[in-house]
């Protein structure tokens, strides 16, 4: 089944790849709670499955994920988050991000 969503410019993906690690590092350093983090560049849509997971964690604080083995080298078997926050970070190319935490609280960070 072909997606009806427009193709995103490759440029946004390259910029996001440069910024998302910095956003994760900011949360590791300053937030002091586990997070389920989705980083988007300004104007990019949040996919339905991403929105569902963010909502789940916002409501329950829990996330469990089994990394598929499939003959590939994986970092581990499972990750389990308890008392976690769901964070959607929408960033500009300059690294200014508006972060929505648990569908409610908004903070602005620079990375």
In a domain, 26, yes or no: no
Overall domain count for the chain: 1
Task: Name beta bridge partners: 101.
Answer: 87, 105
Encoded tokens for 7: 């193709």
DSSP classification of residue 31? T
Local confidence band at 75 (pLDDT 50, 70, 90 cut-offs): confident
Question: Does 9 score more than 80 pLDDT?
Answer: no
For 86-97, the pLDDT digits (tens) are: 999 999 999 999
For 11-56, the pLDDT digits (tens) are: 556 777 889 999 999 999 999 899 999 999 999 999 999 999 999 9
In a domain, 17, yes or no: no
Local confidence band at 68 (pLDDT 50, 70, 90 cut-offs): confident
In a domain, 50, yes or no: yes
Q: What domain range is 84 assigned to?
A: 33-110
Those residues whose C-beta lies under 8 Å from the C-beta of residue 95, and which sit 6 or more positions away, are 19, 22, 110, 111
- The Cα–Cα gap between 24 and 62 comes to 18
Encoded tokens for 56: 């789940």
3-class state of residue 25 by DSSP: helix
């Amino acid at each position: 089944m072909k997606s009806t969503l427009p193709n995103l410019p490759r440029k946004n993906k390259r910029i996001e790849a440069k910024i998302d690690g910095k956003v994760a590092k900011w949360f590791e350093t300053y937030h002091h709670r586990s997070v389920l983090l989705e980083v988007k560049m300004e104007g990019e849509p949040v996919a339905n499955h991403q929105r569902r997971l963010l909502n789940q964690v916002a409501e329950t604080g829990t996330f469990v994920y089994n990394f598929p083995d499939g003959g590939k080298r994986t970092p581990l078997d499972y990750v389990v988050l308890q008392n976690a926050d769901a964070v959607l970070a929408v960033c500009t190319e300059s690294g200014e991000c508006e972060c929505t935490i648990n569908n409610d609280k908004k903070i602005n960070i620079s990375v």
